[in-house]
Amino acid sequence: MRIVTDSRKSGEPKNSENSYVYMIYRAFFSKEKADIFCEQLKSGMSWGEAKNILYESLQKELEPMRERYIELKSNPNLIEDILQLGAEKARKSTIPFLKNIREVIGIKKLIF
C-alpha cells in the first residue's frame, strides 16, 4: 500500500502509463489482463482499489512458487537430486559434442 501514486481521487481517470501500480501489474500478467487493468484505471478506479487488486493478484500468482520454495528449502537432498539429474542430462549432450569439437580442431588427450 506504500506505492507512490498521484493525488487523483476515486472516479477520476488515472494516468496508468506513469503509474508504478500499473507497471508492476504489467510486469507479472498478460497483456490482455494488463489492458483490462489499465482500462479500469482510466475509468476512475481508486488507487486503493488498484493496489488491492495488484496485491491479491500477485498473491494468487506467486502462491505455487512460494509453496515450491518452502518444499525445496525444507528438503536440501531434493535440491541435490535435481542438480545431479540436470548434470547427468547435460553430460549426455555435451560429452559427444565436445569430443567432436576436439577431433575437428585436433586436440587430443595429453598422456604423461
pLDDT in tens, 32-81: 999 999 999 999 999 999 999 999 999 999 999 999 999 999 999 999 99
Which own/partner contact pairs does 22-31 have at CB distance under 8 Å and 24+ positions apart? 22/50, 24/54, 24/58, 25/53, 25/54, 25/57, 28/57, 28/58, 28/61, 29/57, 29/61
Range of the domain at 73: 16-105
CATH code assigned at 71: 1.10.240.10
Instruction: Enter the DSSP assignment of 77.
Output: H
73 contacts: CB under 8 Å, gap ≥ 6: none
Residue 110 included in any domain: no
Task: Note whether residue 55 is domain-resident.
Answer: yes
Q: Is the pLDDT of residue 107 over 70?
A: yes
pLDDT at 51: 96
Instruction: State how many domains the chain has.
Output: 1
Is 68 part of a structural domain of the chain? Answer: yes
Q: What is the pLDDT of residue 87?
A: 96
pLDDT score recorded for residue 110: 59
**pLDDT of the residue at 111:** 58
pLDDT at 16: 86
Write the pLDDT tens digit of every residue in 81-99: 999 999 999 999 998 888 8
Q: What is the pLDDT of residue 99?
A: 87
pLDDT at position 112 is 47
Which one-letter DSSP state was computed for residue 19? Answer: -
User: Is the residue at 76 inside a domain?
Assistant: yes
